[in-house]
Structure formats: C-alpha cells, structure tokens
Structure 1
Amino acid sequence: MDDTTEILTLLRLIARNETVLRLENYYKGLPVSYEATILALGSDYAELRCNRYQIACLYLNRETCLVGDEIAVPIAAQVAFLRPSSLSVVLHRFQYARNKIGLRNQIRVQPEEPVVVHLRLKNALSAVQGLLADISTEGLGLYLDRSLFLPRLYQPGVEVSLTLKLPISVTPARQTGNLTITTGDLTTRFSREQIRGLNLGLEPGEAQRKPGVPAGQEMPSGQITARGILINLRPELHSQRYRLGIRFFPDERTRQTIAQFISLRQSAIIREFKTLYEAISQLDQA
C-alpha cells in the first residue's frame, strides 16, 4: 500500500472520529497553524475547511503539512486548488514528511528590508558585515558573502560578537500600488509578485497603538549587541553566500527589543494575509 492510500485511510478515520487536525505552514519565518475540518475525501484527494489566514498562506506556499493526535508522522500535501470564499482547500499528492519535525519551539522572523549585521569572531581585530536572514529571542541566521568566508575560521563552536539595529519604529504603510480585481485563474491574476507592495490596511483602532508596547513605555531603539556561538553553516553557492546559524545569549533589554520586532512582523504579516484573503475571495466569487 503506497503513502497516498494509507494516508487517505487514516484521514477517513480522523473524519469519522472527529479528532483534531491541524495544517502547518511557514511564511517569512513565521509559523501559521490552525485547526482544519475534513469536508470530503476522494480516491486521491481531500477537501478541508480551514482558517482564512491559512487559506492565504496556502495560496502563497502551495503546500502544507498535516499533523494531529492520530498522525504519528506529519503528512506533506500539495494544494490542488482553493475555494477562498468557502474557506476550503483541496489537497493531493500526499506523502509522509519523514524529515519534517513540525513547528519550531522559537518563533523566528525575517526582516522585510535588509538589516546589516556586524560580526566579529573571538580575538579578531575587525568585524565583517553580513545580512540578517532571520532572528528569534535565542539566535539568528546570517548571510555572509562568499568572499568573506574563510573555512578555517568559521567553524561550529567558535565564539562571536554581533551588532545590529532592528527596524522597530512604527510608520504608516505606504501606498505603492493599486489592487485591481479581475476574473480568471487566481494563480496568474493575483501572483506572489503582484501582492508585494500592497497597502496593508489596519484594523479599526490598530493605527492608534503600537503592537506589543505596553502603555507608558517607550519603543526600544532597536540597537542590539550580543555575544554568541556559531552553531551551523550552510553554503548557498547559487547566491554566492553562506548562511550562518548563531545562538546568542541576550540580556533582558535585548530580548525585549527582539520580541518587539517579532510582534511588529507578526502584525504586518497578519495584515498582509487579510488583504490577500479578501482579494482572492473576490476573485473566487467573480
């Protein structure tokens, strides 16, 4: 029995038992995971009802991972098509995701704009510059140009110091393009490229508050200086760079600054999902 047949048999059991099923995705480093309900099962597909943010994420990712109490090994699936207006997705091409470990314990987010990181190895006389890949309250990913990478120096376990400035000031969203609703295939009429730069509208009252900042407290400056350890590295030769994974040990102020940045990125992505879901729902209904 191949993966698809076995997985669909398992999904029928889950539907019959009405046990909890979740879809897991990542978008710009953030985990997106909501409960889903099985609506229908066929010989090689499953139709599920899920959250609108998950619908927006599925539109962008075109794949997902199914987890649940009765799923011993996470199940990878691809999106066959979406019905945004009815909050449903049809999944197919199931297989067991044996190398996937589920959602990360620490949320780590990617910056929207380039953030320069000054990296200095222990006992080095000067620092080199890299670009922030993603960051959590316990570590970060850093892109280092291939010309700056010296294998004898950059080894797992080496101590480093880091300096960077996170963009955590709240500024009004800029209108950089108009969204035109047209009929036709969703994947071509409203592509990933076309959604970039949309003005992401705020919920009522959201413009008057700074996400994640308690009343009476000032926004942190965003400046971070910390010590850490190089944990892993991976060449990305197609981009002429290396990706370094660094674990650091922030003080309380630094941790609050990173938490503020994560909160702002979460808010921005939620607004992006709202805008995208509304647009593709209108396309679906047209």
Structure 2
Amino acid sequence: MDFTSLYSTRIQTSFDDDQAMILDTFLEKHSAKEVLKVSLTNYFNGLPIMYPATILGVERGNLDLDVNSQQAVAIATDHYTLIRTKLFPHPIAANVQYVNIKKHMVSLNKLCFVEVLAEKRAAVRLDLDPPARATIQFDGQSIVGKLMDISTNGILMVIDEYAALENVEEISIKFMLPDPVLMKQTLIRVPATLVGVVGDSSPYRYKFKIMPEKHQEQLISRYSFQRQVEIIRGLKELVD
C-alpha cells in the first residue's frame, strides 16, 4: 500500500520547520523526564492497528520509541506510522528509519503534520489477498483490472489503461468474492461512482463509491469480518 494515500499533509510553516518543531518539543519533554505517551496507528492490510508507545529519546533527527510488538511488525511491514499526542493539534505521519521487532523499538524520521483521510471512511476498507479480477462496465465498454481493497461502500481498483470515467453516469463493477458461509466464490455486480484517480502513468488507481444491494452488502460484510480475522491471526503469527 502507498501509505501517502491515507492522509493529506497539513504543513504549518514548512516541512523542515515543522519537523524541527516536532522533534524539539519531544526532546524538551523527554529531557524534563516527563513520561510522554503517544499512540500509533498503522493500516495493516487496511485494518487499523492502534497501540500506545513511549518516547525513548530524540537523536540525530530521529524519534526513538518503545512500541507494542504487534505495532512493531506492522511498522516493519508498512514502513510508516501515524502518531497522535496531546502536544499537537494534528496527527503526525512518520517514515521508518529502523525497526527491531524483538526489542519492540523503532526509530522514525521525516515527521510532518497530516489529516488522516482513512478516518473519514464510513467503513474499514481491507486489502484483498490476493487481489481479485474485476471488470468496469460503462457505455457498452468493459475494462478489466484488479480489485485491491473493499468495504461495504467503496473499492479501489488498479487498471493498466487510463479511462475517462469522470462524466460517465452509469458505471457498474463486477467481481467474484469469497462467501465465508457458503464456502464458494460469489459473483457481485454493483453500481459505482468514480471518486478519484491516482497516478500520472500506468498502473492507475481508481477509487469508487459502490451502492450494493442488501444481500450484496451482507456478503461484503461477512467477507470483511473473515478478512479481519485473517489479518489479526497473521499479525500474531509474525510476532510469535
């Protein structure tokens, strides 16, 4: 996942000045021997993983943290994390410089203030593993791509060829989704509205709002629940 799609930056002065201010504030509190707790969030395969963390120090432009072991695995996989603290009005996005899962320690840099767009979603959107073949249908045409993530009201598709869908009134998307109850693949075809396109070159990432019927929404919900169980189980196995 391109984690920059999860947020939009909220630069206060400049990137460098904001980062310096963030690190100076953490350093000041840590030097004063204050026990400073922060919370971290990672969207691990789309599932929010949130645990508290403790500031260990600030050195050479890096923020060192003691973190939960599951968070350490998520950070090592995603190469980013989102920080929240009462010290600042905005969340902070950070890149990962170093991770030690066994010692549950991380070093972060490139810190900047952000607005977390993923929090605005009405439902958790989970990655499919593996991605599913999906077809966009409009005006008698069809475009085949890969369904990358899904929720009850939105999906993300990746397609190789650009298609101008901004002014298309009727779009439908069809794909096969596993039904955990019936233990089989089920065909879903849903009306969709284009939300946005990410990318200046192939492959393009198409974001859609979908309007499933009730039985389709129930199937997507069942799949999402099963997928959450799989993601959590996989995360625990990586820790063990």
TM, length-normalised to structure 2: 0.76
Residue-pair matches, total: 222
> Which of 82, 87, 90 lines up with 2:104 in the alignment?
87
**Does the C-alpha gap of structure 1 residues 162 and 134 become closer, same or farther in structure 2, counting only changes over 3 Å?**
same
**Does the C-alpha gap of structure 1 residues 104 and 29 become closer, same or farther in structure 2, counting only changes over 3 Å?**
farther
> Which of 174, 189, 203 lines up with 1:241 in the alignment?
203
Q: Do structure 1's residue 97 and structure 2's residue 61 form an aligned pair?
A: no
Query: Does 1 or 2 have the higher relative contact order (CA < 8 Å, sep 6+)?
Result: 1
Consecutive unaligned residues of structure 2, counting only runs of 5 or more, are 1-15
- In 1, the alpha carbon distance for the partners of 2:118 and 2:194 equals 24
1:276 counterpart letter in structure 2: L
- In 1, the alpha carbon distance for the partners of 2:204 and 2:147 equals 12
Alpha-carbon offset, residue 221 of structure 1: 5.6
- In 1, the alpha carbon distance for the partners of 2:170 and 2:199 equals 20
- In 2, the alpha carbon distance for the partners of 1:14 and 1:270 equals 34
Higher radius of gyration, 1 or 2: 1
Alpha-carbon offset, residue 156 of structure 1: 5.0
Alpha-carbon offset, residue 72 of structure 1: 1.7
Alpha-carbon offset, residue 111 of structure 1: 1.3
> Which of 27, 49, 52 lines up with 2:44 in the alignment?
27
SS across alignment from 1:253: helix
What is the aligned partner in structure 1 of residue 149 from structure 2? 134
After TM superposition, the structure 1 = structure 2 runs for residues 1-286 of structure 1, keeping only pairs within 5 Å, are 2-12=17-27, 21-42=38-59, 44-91=61-108, 93-98=109-114, 100-101=116-117, 103-105=119-121, 106-121=123-138, 124-146=139-161, 149-151=162-164, 154-155=165-166, 158-169=169-180, 222-235=186-199, 237=201, 240-278=202-240
- In 1, the alpha carbon distance for the partners of 2:153 and 2:90 equals 27
- Of all paired residues, the percent bearing the same amino acid is 25
- In 2, the alpha carbon distance for the partners of 1:41 and 1:236 equals 37
**Does the C-alpha gap of structure 1 residues 85 and 233 become closer, same or farther in structure 2, counting only changes over 3 Å?**
closer
1:77 counterpart letter in structure 2: A
SS across alignment from 1:72: coil
Alpha-carbon offset, residue 247 of structure 1: 0.7
1:82 counterpart letter in structure 2: V
- In 2, the alpha carbon distance for the partners of 1:14 and 1:167 equals 50
1:2 counterpart letter in structure 2: D
Contact 2:18/2:113 (8 A) holds in 1: no
Q: Pick the structure with more strand per residue.
A: 2
Note the aligned Cα RMSD (angstroms): 2.9
SS across alignment from 1:71: coil
Consecutive unaligned residues of structure 1, counting only runs of 5 or more, are 170-216, 279-286
- In 2, the alpha carbon distance for the partners of 1:9 and 1:260 equals 46
Alpha-carbon offset, residue 102 of structure 1: 5.9
Alpha-carbon offset, residue 43 of structure 1: 5.6
